[in-house]
Copies of this chain bind each other. A is one copy, B any other.
Amino acid sequence: MLSEPQSGYDLKRNFDQALNNFWSAELSQIYPQLKKMEASGLLKCHEEESASGPNRRVYTRSAKGRLELLEWLADGPQVGEERISYLTQVFFLNELDDKKDGLSFMQELRDYMVDRYEYLVEVDGFLRKDDPRYPNDLPDDEFFPQLTLALGLKRIKATIEWCDETIKRMKTRIGD
């Protein structure tokens, strides 16, 4: 992102597409943030006329901005806690009177994960097919975006496995 000059609107689109739901941001967060970064000298801005609608405010990284980016990467991976909302729900599943309701919950979760998995496989296939010049791997501008996809696939697969094992364990407990 911001490797090439972009407006807030472009950035939003790239965020949504490229990071495949591993990070998102609303325009109401992006626009003030870009202004803040411009004010502290990390970005430069120039206006462009738009064919439709208001002028585009196009941002470019400054030398200072680039330095800060390199520092951010040099600090190493940010491995803070990863929040999974539905796990807090799973925790409360033993409060249910009818144990079959817990099973339904897990089956619903599994169905969602399978749908998502199939969607990501499709996106991944599209990325890989596009360029036959590199039989061993993708060019740089596709390699790094594809890494986020590859992790997504592995993690969702692991989650589906967990759903299956949990459903099996729950069925045994119900005595079904």
Contact = CB atoms under 8 A, between A and B. Distances in A.
A90 B157 contact: no
A77 B136 contact: no
- Going nearest first, the 5 A-B pairs with the smallest beta carbon separation are A78-B85, A158-B158, A77-B86, A154-B158, A77-B109
B112 A96 contact: no
A161 interface: yes
Contact of A141 (B1, B93, B94, B136): B94
A69 interface: yes
B173 A162 contact: no
Q: Determine which residue in A66, A86, A172 has the highest number of CB atoms from chain B within 10 A of its CB, and name it.
A: A86
Q: Looking at chain A, what size class is its interface with the partner chain?
A: 35 or more
A113 to B, nearest CB: 8
A26 interface: no
A63 interface: no
A119 interface: no
Interface stretch (A41-49, A125-133, A144-152): A144-152
A19 interface: yes
A49 to B, nearest CB: 29
A133 to B, nearest CB: 15
